[in-house]
Amino acid sequence: MVLIYIDQADQQIKKSTQEALSYGAAIAKQLGTTAEALLLGNVSDNLTALGNYGVTKVHHINNVQLNTFDAKVNATVVAHAVKKLNATVVVFAHNINGKALAPAVAVKLEAGIVTGASSLPDTTNGFVVTKTVFSGKAFAAIQIETPIKVISLNQNSFGIHAQETTAIVEILDIPVPAPSIKITSVDKIVGEIPLTEATLVVSGGRGLKGPENWGILLDLAKSLGASTACSRPVSDADWRPHHEHVGQTGIQIAPNLYIAIGISGAIQHLAGVNRSKTIVVINKDPEAPFFKAADYGVVGDAFEIVPALTAAILKSKASA
């Protein structure tokens, strides 16, 4: 059985879980077994609807202590559940909590793990999982040698596959150890899609010359319903908040569309965005290295191009 970990925060299932469920269900199909899901804590979502992503059953450990994330506690509980349910493949989303949890679960199960998987495993001869390495500049095919396999899936690399079905929800009783950390406060930007979960991202660099010029970028983002990001120099200069910084030292993202405005495309920046499906680069310098990594490019003055692009998007939406 393939068991998929449901990641939640604030009583809501995270979007990355839908992709992990779809991926786990596809592995189960490949192995001729069932896919089931594991939820720790309580959420307001309708759990039977998770069947839409291909799981037949949702095992629910409905202990309120598990509403908040504690890596040590969650790892102990998940490993215990895997053993109790006899799962042989355990799938996580390679998101913030998945990164903290999956390797610890692997240790407790004495299982081999591949984090940041980019495609379905090859099970024709053993169990080989391909993952991105060297900050997206290469792939490695890795054989897992142990009876239990743990995989965490790179976000936005498999897609969400859904069809209407329902899953059975079963309460699972697993002892929960005492908390190992005490969460004292949570500081969240309200009303914005977290960058790691955004499918469309508009990003600005030093080419925009100053924080007062961000209006055109925000208008473009609004016309698309996109999240906004920025390069390191921009966040270092406090033109934009630090949580918008994408790149090697900032957040790594893989949206469907990444529009880079006035960003030259240093290798450290590319390391954070090179898994984007489609990259559009707007830059006045035709020699900017970013053009080499782009799908579409516009050479010219961002202060003219960006408002024109916004207008074109609004026009296209109005006629749709």
Of 69-98, which residues contact another protein (CB under 8 A)?
70-72, 75, 95-96
| 251 in Cβ contact with 275 (< 8 Å) | no
Three-state secondary structure readout of 247-266: CCCCECCCCCEEEEECCCCC
- With CB under 8 A as the contact rule, the residue among 30, 213, 243, 289 that binds another protein is 243
Q: Is 106 in the site for another protein (CB under 8 A)?
A: yes
Residues 171-190 that bind another protein (CB under 8 A): 180-189
Closest CA to 77 of 61, 90, 100, 99: 61
Residues 118-157 that bind another protein (CB under 8 A): 128, 130-146
Interface segment toward another protein; rule CB under 8 A; list 46-54, 159-167, 211-219, 295-303: 295-303
What would the two tokens of residue 8 be?
Answer: 């939640």
Binding mask 193-212 for another protein (x = CB under 8 A): xxxxx-xx------------
Q: Is 316 in the site for another protein (CB under 8 A)?
A: yes
Read off the amino acid at residue 212: E
- With CB under 8 A as the contact rule, the residue among 11, 46, 110, 166 that binds another protein is 110
**Nearest CB to another protein, comparing residues 51 and 130:** 130
From the number of C-beta atoms within 10 Å of its C-beta (0-12, 13-18, 19+), residue 135 rates as middle
Q: Is 114 in the site for another protein (CB under 8 A)?
A: yes
**Nearest CB to another protein, comparing residues 51 and 98:** 98
CA 193 to chain centre: 12
- With CB under 8 A as the contact rule, the residue among 78, 104, 234, 253 that binds another protein is 104
Residues 9-68 that bind another protein (CB under 8 A): 9, 14
Q: Which residue has the tokens 């469920």?
A: 21
Q: Is 305 in the site for another protein (CB under 8 A)?
A: yes
First to last CA, the chain: 45
Q: Are strands 8-9 and 12-13 parallel, antiparallel or unpaired?
A: antiparallel
Q: How far is the CB of 110 from another protein (least distance, A)?
A: 8
C-alpha span between 59 and 54 (Å, rounded): 14
**Nearest CB to another protein, comparing residues 22 and 132:** 132
**Nearest CB to another protein, comparing residues 166 and 249:** 249
C-alpha span between 21 and 15 (Å, rounded): 10
Q: Is 262 in the site for another protein (CB under 8 A)?
A: no
